[in-house]
Structure 1
């Protein structure tokens, strides 16, 4: 029986995740997922692609979202009251214009010190009306695209088997930063065909496969970046028609609700894999 074996949300885009045993799945994904984003002084988002030290920042947000604490080794923790209603400034995510509420100079100074580059922190404004693309349109905060990224244990096991054949070591699930991990599907990449899911009190609708980038080469514990794995191996058997490599699946939230580790994952509708 396929079940949820891990739930992780990422309060600050690009920073470390917060594992939980249960979570509220909102229309924009797990509660507080990617509701904050680090940007340059010009408002362009920072990513582990160019700023791998983001993964060394461990955020924690209260259940009601009013307090955010940032931690990183060799720096004093910083706790701030979240500004959720102040004036919004223009920000840019993958070239698309959005808006974000700046969280002030103190947190900006802390982030700039940790990352070694002038940085600021913004929060999704209340009127954030982003519409995501894919087979099932939806919304999300500052996620790359859809609200939920799901990956199965069998899918990662196959990749690690192929890495081992090349003499490379296995990778942990955190290298791919999924929100939901499912175990119990015997076939790798079953999530490619699972187009309508029920888990806990929530429902998910398939949007598209997850295109992978250089972030997969960043060690999520140390921020060390190496290559060419896993992208080289993925390119051998997971190359998409567009030319990129795909691994894992993105979903829209069709019905919000509570999800817990141990919940059964029921596929309500199967479809053909999209390549």
Structure 2
């Protein structure tokens, strides 16, 4: 197999940025889901997550990363593709919003947020960002940055498990994980697995073979796009049957090339541990051109997947597409992956993993 696509989502919920190569670390692809939008409900001030399933208008926001220059530091540039004439007060504003990729948090307001039951401290980016997004969503929203915050990995099956040859080396890691779950200081990145604003794991891996099956067998040949499934790493599935990934436990990228680069360069190739199924929601039905549920067959993607893809007994009403992944627990530095890299399934499970994220 080969890597066929790579995606990153600096601001969770908005459109994907397609990459040619990416640096993968313990928290996934660099800069992935470090920002998030929350809707502020009146009069309580309760915060509700803004994602494609609950706020289909997310699909109208394009984002891209621009490198630092004389004009300023590296940033995420966001452009809205909806009809500004219909968005109250928005037509006179700048067409694009520039969000610093690594904001200075010293002057930002700290705020506690929760995503899927996993709490974290984050930072409000400020009124100018909130106003820009609020006018386009038509509701009051705030933009937050994770910064030095940490979201705990919940459940029993999703945290990475060392391979047998690593167990002795990783005894210290297991002890740290125990203290992490018990609630010790989360500021230490070595204190156990943590995630950004990714749903439940740092990475989502998907297969083109399975998408082809969805298109041809379930959607009558309609060309549903891979980006609707919001993966990070896509493999072409060459040599693997559709849905073979249900049993993938370990993937090696650029096998045979995973050597430390000369000097300070990144390592080439590495291993991901696939630890849980991705159970899907109504975000699959959204039309990214109009920011609303699609009509016809393409508005029934979730329903049609339910026909025979409710294969995880831990979430028996939700269909599965894709696998959640963590960086190999023996690798603290991560590695570089590029489109076209060879991928090898180096370990398979004999039984399906069971969804185990509490209350989700």
What residue number does 2:250 align with? 196
**Partner of 2:353: helix, strand, or coil?**
coil
What residue number does 1:268 align with? 346
What residue number does 2:32 align with? 33
Q: Spell out the pairing of 1:50-65 with structure 2 (5 A cutoff).
A: 50-62=54-66
**Partner of 1:126: helix, strand, or coil?**
coil
Deviation at residue 84 of structure 1 after TM alignment: 4.3
What residue number does 1:232 align with? 303
**Partner of 1:61: helix, strand, or coil?**
strand
**Runs of at least 4 residues of structure 1 off by over 4 A?**
62-66
Q: For 2:75, which of 67, 86, 90 is the aligned residue? A: 67
Cα pair 1:45 1:91 within 8 Å, conserved: no
Deviations, residues 100-133 of structure 1 (Å, cap 9, x unaligned):
1111111111000111111111111214253354
Cα pair 1:9 1:32 within 8 Å, conserved: yes
Runs of 5+ unmatched residues, structure 2 = 41-45, 85-93, 161-192, 255-268, 355-360
What residue number does 2:323 align with? 249
CA distance in 1, matches of 2:245, 2:283: 21
CA radius of gyration, larger in: 2
What residue number does 1:125 align with? 147
CA distance in 2, matches of 1:84, 1:43: 23
Cα pair 1:84 1:126 within 8 Å, conserved: no
Q: Spell out the pairing of 1:159-170 with structure 2 (5 A cutoff).
A: 159-165=214-220, 169-170=222-223
Cα pair 1:102 1:122 within 8 Å, conserved: yes
RMSD across aligned positions (CA): 2.1
What residue number does 1:210 align with? 278
Under a length normalisation based on structure 2, what TM-score does the superposition of the two structures give? 0.70
Under a length normalisation based on structure 1, what TM-score does the superposition of the two structures give? 0.91
Distance of aligned partners of 1:148 and 1:80 in 2 relative to their CA distance in 1, 3 Å threshold: closer
Larger CA deviation: 180-189 vs 209-218 = 180-189
Larger CA deviation: 131-140 vs 20-29 = 131-140
Distance of aligned partners of 1:185 and 1:108 in 2 relative to their CA distance in 1, 3 Å threshold: farther
CA distance in 2, matches of 1:178, 1:222: 21
Question: How many residues get paired?
Answer: 272
CA distance in 1, matches of 2:154, 2:252: 21
Higher share in strand: 1
Q: Spell out the pairing of 1:105-120 with structure 2 (5 A cutoff).
A: 105-120=127-142
CA distance in 2, matches of 1:216, 1:84: 35
What residue number does 2:213 align with? 158
**Partner of 2:306: helix, strand, or coil?**
helix
Deviations, residues 10-35 of structure 1 (Å, cap 9, x unaligned):
11111001001001001111111111
Cα pair 2:119 2:151 within 8 Å, conserved: no
What residue number does 2:121 align with? 99
What residue number does 2:87 align with? none
What residue number does 2:169 align with? none
Distance of aligned partners of 1:132 and 1:20 in 2 relative to their CA distance in 1, 3 Å threshold: farther
Cα pair 1:152 1:185 within 8 Å, conserved: no
Deviation at residue 66 of structure 1 after TM alignment: 4.6
Deviations, residues 38-91 of structure 1 (Å, cap 9, x unaligned):
012333321112211111112223468852321113461111335342342011
